[in-house]
Amino acid sequence: MTTVNEDQAKLWNGSAGQAWVDGQQLLDGMFEPFERLLVKEAQRQGSRRVLDVGCGSGATTLAIARGQGADAQAVGVDISQPLITLARQRSDRERLATQFICADAQTHGFEAAQFELVVSRFGVMFFDDFVQAFSNLRRACARGAQWRAITFRSPAENPFMTTAERAAAPLLPGLPPRRTDAPGQFALADRARVMSLLEAGGWADAVLERLDVECSFPASALDGYMSRLGPVGLYLAQADEATRTRVIGAVRAAFQQFVHGADVRFTAACWMVTARNP
């Protein structure tokens, strides 16, 4: 795997990647509304050659492949070997015509001009050089190819996504703060920045459409979600049992505002980012 983004490679090939493997069903269910949106875009565009960037365990790639003919091409790329391994296993079970590449999409040597559509479900926010990454992805696309990526808007608009760290911060003084200017969940929250980065990467006609999507997952899975995923989950993986107990109790209480009967429900404030390869 060729990569220059060493911090993200270490993260997603370590505890974060394994947590997403273990939480695959939960996360796929929670983000399924976004998967549907991207499948609909692929069908609307009539795209036969689709690249899914930051494909994770492959849910969106697989969903696109199910709706394509045998001569179509659905390719997923991700920096995480554990997630790519799971994606390949899922594809093999369904006997789908997909390809999964473990690589850093920022630098990977894709065949030039092969894709008609680039999609991403929360997978393009983790590059350490966005211009290089967006330029590299554009070179992999045919003339006129389309870009459809879903990214999160600001932390303030996504209180669910920051509940755990806000509740845990008084108990975990070493918990690193979020940086919206660094690779991560909110790196592409600012509209002007996203448009500037896409333009610098050679993409044209960039548009950011606001998406406010209702998401849910079973309340029975909440403890696993908050103790394994995100910055708090990474911190707790190294914490002693007494610290884990205190933090999980505080975080569980903070999440109660999102618990409605048997479900956890929240609104994800996102962008649908569209652009075109001129």
- What pLDDT, on the 0 to 100 scale, is given for residue 4? 60
Q: Is residue 229 part of a domain?
A: no
Q: Quick check: is 263 in a domain?
A: no
Q: What does the pLDDT average to over 186-209?
A: 98
DSSP 182-221: SSSTTTT--HHHHHHHHHHTT-EEEEEEEEEEEEEEEGGG
In 3D space, the residue among 91, 107, 111, 108 whose CA is nearest the CA of residue 99 turns out to be 91
**How does pLDDT run across 78-136, given as a tens digit for each residue?**
999 999 999 999 999 999 989 999 999 999 999 999 999 999 999 999 999 999 999 99
In a domain, 129, yes or no: yes
In a domain, 36, yes or no: yes
Q: Categorize the per-residue pLDDT at 1 as very low, low, confident or very high, splitting at 50, 70 and 90.
A: very low
Structure tokens of 108? 């990977």
Residue 33 confidence class, pLDDT cut points 50, 70, 90? very high
**166, part of any domain:** no
End-to-end CA distance of the chain: 29
pLDDT tens, residue by residue, 224-273? 999 999 999 988 888 899 999 999 999 999 999 999 999 999 999 999 99
> Could you tell me which residues are beta bridge partners of residue 34?
none
Question: Mean pLDDT throughout 22-27?
Answer: 95
Beta strands 98-102 and 115-121 are unpaired
pLDDT over 70 (residue 213): yes
pLDDT computed for residue 112 by the predictor: 97
Confirm whether pTM is higher than 0.85.
yes
pLDDT at position 69 is 72
Helices (runs of H) and strands (runs of E) counted in the chain = 12, 8
The answer to whether position 41 is within a domain reads yes
Quote the number of domains for the chain: 1
pLDDT, tens only, 44-81 = 989 999 999 999 999 999 999 998 877 789 999 999 99
Q: What is the pLDDT of residue 115?
A: 98
3-state DSSP call for residue 116? strand
Domain presence at residue 146: yes
Tell me what pLDDT residue 235 has: 87
Two tokens, residue 169: 């911060």
Q: What is residue 64's predicted lDDT score, i.e. its pLDDT?
A: 96
Domain with 84 in it:
6-154+180-215+269-276
Q: Indicate whether 6 pLDDT > 80.
A: yes
Bridge partners of 217, per DSSP, are 264
Is 104 a member of any domain? Answer: yes
Q: Tell me the CATH number at 35.
A: 3.40.50.150
Q: 243 exposed, middle or buried (CB, 10 Å; 0-12, 13-18, 19+)?
A: middle
> What pLDDT digit, counting tens, does each position of 140-184 carry?
999 999 999 999 999 999 999 999 999 999 998 888 888 888 899
CA–CA–CA angle 177, 128, 13 (5° rounding) = 80
The 10 Å Cβ neighbour count of residue 113 is 15
- Give residues with Cβ within 8 angstroms of 251, minimum separation 6: 163, 164, 167, 168, 226, 227, 232
The Cα-based distances of 278 to 7, 115, 196, 200, 205 in angstroms read: 32, 14, 16, 13, 9
